[in-house]
Chain A
Amino acid sequence: MFTIKDFSTAFYALSKAKGYALTVILTLGLTLGTLVAMFNLNYQILAAPLPYPDDEHLVVGSASWLAKDGSVLFQRVLPNSTFPVYQQPSDKLSDHALYGYSFTDMTLRDLPHSPVIQVAYATSGFMRMYQMPMLHGRAFSQDEDTGSHQPVAVLSEQLWRSQYNSEPAVVGRTVRIGEQDYKVIGIASALFTEPRLVGPSRHTDVWLPWDFNPVVPRDRTSVSGWQFYLAKLKSPDLRQAFAQELTALVDNSYQDAALSNQSGRSLVFNAEPLRQILHGDSGNRTLWMLAGSMLLLLIAATNIMNLLFSRAARQQRAMSIQVALGAQRRHILGSILAELSWLLLGALLLAFLVAEAAYALLREYAADSLPGIAALGLDWPVLLFALLSCLLLGLCFAQLINTQINYRAIQQNLQSSGKGSGVQISRRSRQLLIGAQVMLAAMLLVCCLQVLLQALVQLRQDVGFASRDRYQITIDDATPAPAAGLPAEQRFALLRQRTTELMQVRDILLQHPAVEAASVTNYPPVSFDGLFGILNAVADPAEPSQALISRYTSTDQHYFPMFAIPLLQGRNFTAQEVSTQSLVVIINQTFAEKLRPDGQVLGLRLHNPTGSQSYEIIGVSANHQLPDAWSAIEPNRSYMPRSVSGSASLVLQLKPGMSIDKTVINQAMTQVSPQFKAAAMHSMADNIDRVLLRNYLAAAVTSALVVLSFVLAAIGIYGVLSYNVQLRRFELGVRMAIGARPATILRQLLGENLKPVGAGLALAALLLVALWLALQHSTLSIALSAGGFALPLVLIVLLTVLTSLLSVWGIIRKPAIYALQGQ
């Protein structure tokens, strides 16, 4: 069908129509590139093989902790009752490991600047199952497994390069982490794709043996988040059976040790496929992005169809001459398709560049919120997808052109002194093109605007606490943890001692000229790592199983003023209450309304589940407005001066324009205790941004889609209307000749153009209603906004008015004779 001559002629013709060629290549390249990038992202998340051998066999074990009534207290926690099971592995496994992440920032104390590091605790099976490649040294061996207490460490290549100048001699040396020296036995290669079990943002710098995990000494009834039982099944089919077997073992062990207040609670062990843990529900989000990019490509394809038709219409004279000289239909089509091939080739090359740019953007801005980003790149499935997409588009374009070009009319074109127009596209086709364009654009605009507005509302909303010039100082605390068997009072005394020391640090820092305010707390309103403490309380000690779970903050009297959190009822803690760690509590409004619908809770008491302690509610604080990954609505919050857990950090408010560094803080800490080191300073504003990252991403992606779809729709609608007007130029001239004024012509065109636009909008509305109804049955929640519906409609109508005016402007601003003469 094609000859080389066709291609060279087509190339020459396109070089003479650079604007047309560039528009087609840019439109198609941009949208195809976006689609390719989104396909790749979804492929990596949903289908690409994981970079571990026998990845189908790998499961991640954790438990759901159920209350008496069967409701889930906590999910994906590892009960300490799992540890005995690890010693006697199931016969369904070919390998297994315990794996957990440190909750707190730690530092490398052997280095003078004590850099902060992320630590994970593992047994040797982890490195075997995931085949950790070693750059130097070796991985953990079975000799370093549980119970061996061998202080060894494996460093990541990145840490080794950044902190130890890539010295091979580091292997064999010791590093100090917390109060312990560890011998470095290996450097894990950067080629190792770490399974990020608690989210894409958490990476590991140092792997330590499981024995050094602070959760290990806890009793058998304890459960901990961020800890997992990793297993490699002999067959993927054994997953359910393995989970059932472990449920029985873990729950029995838990029940044997459970205290009276935990009666009725139970554990259900889950063995989730590794892919599910790594990728979670990311696929839901990325599939929407894929759908958006497909819609964008459809809009672009409609545009290109218009451009191809216009091009064919402009070439009618050349076609007529070709036909007069004996060209067959296939010759005419051949020359069109040769041009199309060049355009598709250009678009395909541009698409790969656009996809690469999209990968770079995703790596820069979404690496912490989406999995699979690191694996994005040009590989065979992506190449195949891009080629097939291009081929499919080409075939669709070719088929449409083939059905629309009227060969007979072209033949007669020259015979009628050039007054015919052989490649006119029928009025119905033109209207269909406009309607389709408007429908696709309206759907995309409405969907994007709904998401954008929702994201913007969240971003513009006051989070409910002050964050400017406020910093979270994480502390690497080398104080030995209280021994497991220590009586509660002694344990509490140790915690109190530590809190008192931190308050001394706080008071020293308050003397610093840069510090406006300081407070000691386990967690600020939003922590850099998204973690928070949990308080399990009951309103009635007679009903210990009716747990009231809240996010718990142990703090001092400076906390509420420093973060400007309003107290709606009652009062703040007094210095006396803080120093004596009185049994008083402030709760947030949500919690108060749970306790009593009228929220009047001052004087009521909360009890610990054993009934041994009760706390008087002395205040009610305002809610925060910062939904996070754990809770889409404001959770219960409780604040107490009494420390019931080991974690503690400092929060500082600096004077405007002032700064402070870790050295100053460390000097203050050294004055009080050599065990304390400031691990890192996290700006509260950054902590908030981290929580809002999803909203920022949504806003950025949807803004880009809104702009792109609107521009594409504008080009497309203008293209069709302009082409429409060109075809009707003579008719409009006749109308003007018999007295139609410019305004009359414009009004008439507007009336005609708004019909297919209205039809497109109506169809889009129907499809959106169907989509909305479908979403009612899904987990996706979108707050609908009337503006998000109205704005696209108004924009499209305005666009139609403007493009109608633009398309006919060249005709109505000149005397009628120009239109009659086809000028």
Chain B
Amino acid sequence: MKQQKICMQGITKVFATDEMETHALRGIDLEIFAGDFVSICGPSGCGKSTLLSLLGLLDMPTQGSYQIEGQEVSGLSLSEAAYIRNEKIGFIFQSFNLIDELTVFDNIALPLRYRRNAVPKAELEARVMACLKTVDMTHRAGHRPNQLSGGQQQRIAIARALVGSPALLLVDEPTGNLDSKNGDAVMDMLSELNSNGTTLCMVTHDPRYADMASRKLHLLDGRILDAEGTPLTQPETLLRQVAGQ
């Protein structure tokens, strides 16, 4: 039986301003298991990015339960969330988000430098070099991000996401800023990582890449749809459950 990595139950996210409330997610139930490759698709504004932010603890849900490897993380402080994010989650962003002032090596080493317990220098170097080797970029270790092409930058971003050996890799439109050739290469790399056991959750607009996932989730108006397009969780049901009825 596969180990459960992620378990979300009745997750809602409401953005409130003085004038109105926007329900970005309306009762999401989601499980991701070790070795899964989950793709999340849907039209603009359906809540994909919000869901990914909650999965990555970049934001906290308004309501609901969220567990990572059995640990409840929905009510963590910012500092605790940062630790969990650092140790259990790896991010790959659409626009790479490498830090221009750091070298490729330092960009990749960054998550290890933020560890609760300092990683010894030798181990850090070994792990960074191993990740660089994984993405075939060892020769670029001393370069700055702006000296690299978009495809190369995304590979560095993948290496950075992998370096901490996360439980889950969250991928946000990884090919959005790449041409098709580089996009394909990146997707091949992600598939290969998944084949090797890495758990992936990817947001994408591109149906081709979404099809590469082992599970496809469709989001619409803040809800996950089943294959027939019916929401998997009714908010009314959830509210009753929360109220204990």
| A813, B60: Cα distance in complex, Å | 13
Contacts of A818 in B (CB 8 A): 59
Interface residues in A82-135 (C-beta closer than 8 Å to B) = none
> Judging by beta carbons under 8 Å apart, are A741 and B83 in contact?
yes
Distance in angstroms from B45 CB to nearest chain A CB is 14
- Judge if A419 is at the interface, Cβ distance under 8 Å: yes
Picked from A419, A742, A814, the residue with its CB within 8 Å of the CB of B82 is A742
Kindly specify which of A255-263, A681-689, A729-737 makes contact with the partner chain. A729-737
Given known pairs A734-B97, A738-B91, the reply for A816 and B111 (CB within 8 Å) is no
Interface residues in B95-147 (C-beta closer than 8 Å to A) = 95, 97, 99, 101, 110-111, 114-115
Pick the most buried of A743, A812, A815: most chain B CB atoms within 10 A of its CB: A815
Contacts of A735 in B (CB 8 A): 99, 110, 114
Given known pairs A419-B95, A813-B78, A817-B53, the reply for A739 and B58 (CB within 8 Å) is no
- Judge if A600 is at the interface, Cβ distance under 8 Å: no
Picked from A730, A739, A814, A816, the residue with its CB within 8 Å of the CB of B83 is A739
Given known pairs A731-B99, A815-B58, the reply for A739 and B78 (CB within 8 Å) is no
Q: Mark A792-823, 1 if CB is under 8 A from B, else 0.
A: 00000000000000000000111111101000
- Judge if A659 is at the interface, Cβ distance under 8 Å: no
> Judging by beta carbons under 8 Å apart, are B82 and A741 in contact?
yes
> Judging by beta carbons under 8 Å apart, are A736 and B95 in contact?
no
Of chain B, the residue at the smallest CB distance from A419 is: B95
Picked from A740, A812, A813, A814, the residue with its CB within 8 Å of the CB of B114 is A740
Interface residues in A358-413 (C-beta closer than 8 Å to B) = none
> Judging by beta carbons under 8 Å apart, are B160 and A738 in contact?
yes
- Judge if A744 is at the interface, Cβ distance under 8 Å: yes
Given known pairs A419-B95, A817-B59, the reply for A737 and B85 (CB within 8 Å) is yes
Besides A419-B95, A737-B91, A739-B87, 14 other CB < 8 A contacts?
Answer: A737-B56, A738-B85, A738-B90, A738-B111, A738-B114, A738-B160, A739-B164, A812-B78, A815-B78, A816-B59, A816-B85, A817-B59, A818-B59, A820-B58
3 A-B pairs closest in CB distance:
A739-B86, A817-B58, A741-B82
Contacts of A736 in B (CB 8 A): 58, 82
| A736, B110: Cα distance in complex, Å | 11
Interface residues in A443-484 (C-beta closer than 8 Å to B) = none
- Judge if B189 is at the interface, Cβ distance under 8 Å: no
Contacts of A813 in B (CB 8 A): 78
Distance in angstroms from A762 CB to nearest chain B CB is 23
Picked from A731, A742, A814, A817, the residue with its CB within 8 Å of the CB of B79 is A742
Interface residues in B127-176 (C-beta closer than 8 Å to A) = 160-161, 164
Picked from B59, B99, B111, the residue with its CB within 8 Å of the CB of A739 is B111
| A734, B100: Cα distance in complex, Å | 12
Q: Mark A779-802, 1 if CB is under 8 A from B, else 0.
A: 000000000000000000000000
| A197, B79: Cα distance in complex, Å | 73
Distance in angstroms from B71 CB to nearest chain A CB is 16
Contacts of B193 in A (CB 8 A): none
Contact surface of B with A, Cβ cutoff 8 Å: 53, 56-60, 78-79, 81-83, 85-87, 90-91, 93, 95, 97, 99, 101, 110-111, 114-115, 160-161, 164
> Judging by beta carbons under 8 Å apart, are A815 and B114 in contact?
no
> Judging by beta carbons under 8 Å apart, are A743 and B79 in contact?
yes
Distance in angstroms from B107 CB to nearest chain A CB is 10
Between-chain CB contacts (< 8 Å), 20 pairs: A735-B99, A735-B110, A736-B58, A737-B56, A737-B85, A737-B93, A737-B97, A738-B86, A738-B114, A738-B160, A739-B82, A739-B87, A739-B111, A740-B82, A741-B78, A741-B114, A812-B78, A814-B78, A817-B53, A817-B58
> Judging by beta carbons under 8 Å apart, are A738 and B110 in contact?
yes
Distance in angstroms from A422 CB to nearest chain B CB is 16
Contacts of B87 in A (CB 8 A): 739
| A739, B160: Cα distance in complex, Å | 12
| A739, B58: Cα distance in complex, Å | 10
| A734, B94: Cα distance in complex, Å | 12
> Judging by beta carbons under 8 Å apart, are B97 and A815 in contact?
no
> Judging by beta carbons under 8 Å apart, are B58 and A737 in contact?
yes
| A816, B114: Cα distance in complex, Å | 15
Pick the most buried of A737, A739, A743, A812: most chain B CB atoms within 10 A of its CB: A739
| A738, B156: Cα distance in complex, Å | 14
Contacts of B58 in A (CB 8 A): 736-737, 815-817, 820
Contacts of A744 in B (CB 8 A): 82, 114
Contacts of B101 in A (CB 8 A): 427
Contacts of A738 in B (CB 8 A): 85-86, 90-91, 110-111, 114, 160-161
> Judging by beta carbons under 8 Å apart, are B99 and A734 in contact?
yes
Contacts of A820 in B (CB 8 A): 58
Contacts of A742 in B (CB 8 A): 78-79, 82
| A737, B81: Cα distance in complex, Å | 10
| A742, B91: Cα distance in complex, Å | 18
Given known pairs A742-B78, A744-B114, the reply for A815 and B91 (CB within 8 Å) is no
Contacts of A740 in B (CB 8 A): 82, 86, 110, 114
Distance in angstroms from B115 CB to nearest chain A CB is 8
Pick the most buried of A419, A737, A812, A815: most chain B CB atoms within 10 A of its CB: A737
Of chain A, the residue at the smallest CB distance from B79 is: A741
Given known pairs A737-B58, A738-B91, A820-B58, the reply for A815 and B110 (CB within 8 Å) is no
Pick the most buried of B82, B110, B164: most chain A CB atoms within 10 A of its CB: B82
| A735, B99: Cα distance in complex, Å | 9
Distance in angstroms from A811 CB to nearest chain B CB is 11
| A610, B81: Cα distance in complex, Å | 96
Contacts of B53 in A (CB 8 A): 815, 817
Contacts of B95 in A (CB 8 A): 419
Distance in angstroms from A415 CB to nearest chain B CB is 14
Distance in angstroms from B138 CB to nearest chain A CB is 21
> Judging by beta carbons under 8 Å apart, are B85 and A739 in contact?
yes
Distance in angstroms from A619 CB to nearest chain B CB is 74
| A443, B111: Cα distance in complex, Å | 41
| A815, B53: Cα distance in complex, Å | 10
| A814, B110: Cα distance in complex, Å | 21
| A358, B21: Cα distance in complex, Å | 55
Of chain B, the residue at the smallest CB distance from A741 is: B82
| A743, B78: Cα distance in complex, Å | 10
Contacts of B97 in A (CB 8 A): 730, 734, 737
Contacts of B78 in A (CB 8 A): 741-742, 812-815
Q: Mark A624-647, 1 if CB is under 8 A from B, else 0.
A: 000000000000000000000000
Distance in angstroms from A809 CB to nearest chain B CB is 12
Pick the most buried of A419, A735, A738, A816: most chain B CB atoms within 10 A of its CB: A738
Distance in angstroms from B53 CB to nearest chain A CB is 5
| A739, B59: Cα distance in complex, Å | 13
Distance in angstroms from B18 CB to nearest chain A CB is 15
Contacts of B60 in A (CB 8 A): 815
Q: Mark A588-628, 1 if CB is under 8 A from B, else 0.
A: 00000000000000000000000000000000000000000
> Judging by beta carbons under 8 Å apart, are A815 and B83 in contact?
no
Contacts of B57 in A (CB 8 A): 815
Picked from A419, A731, A815, the residue with its CB within 8 Å of the CB of B81 is A815
| A621, B97: Cα distance in complex, Å | 80
Of chain A, the residue at the smallest CB distance from B115 is: A739
Contacts of B114 in A (CB 8 A): 735, 738-741, 744
Contacts of A427 in B (CB 8 A): 101
| A744, B99: Cα distance in complex, Å | 16
Contacts of B79 in A (CB 8 A): 741-743
Distance in angstroms from A240 CB to nearest chain B CB is 68
Pick the most buried of B58, B60, B90, B160: most chain A CB atoms within 10 A of its CB: B58
Interface residues in A708-753 (C-beta closer than 8 Å to B) = 730-731, 734-744
> Judging by beta carbons under 8 Å apart, are A815 and B59 in contact?
yes
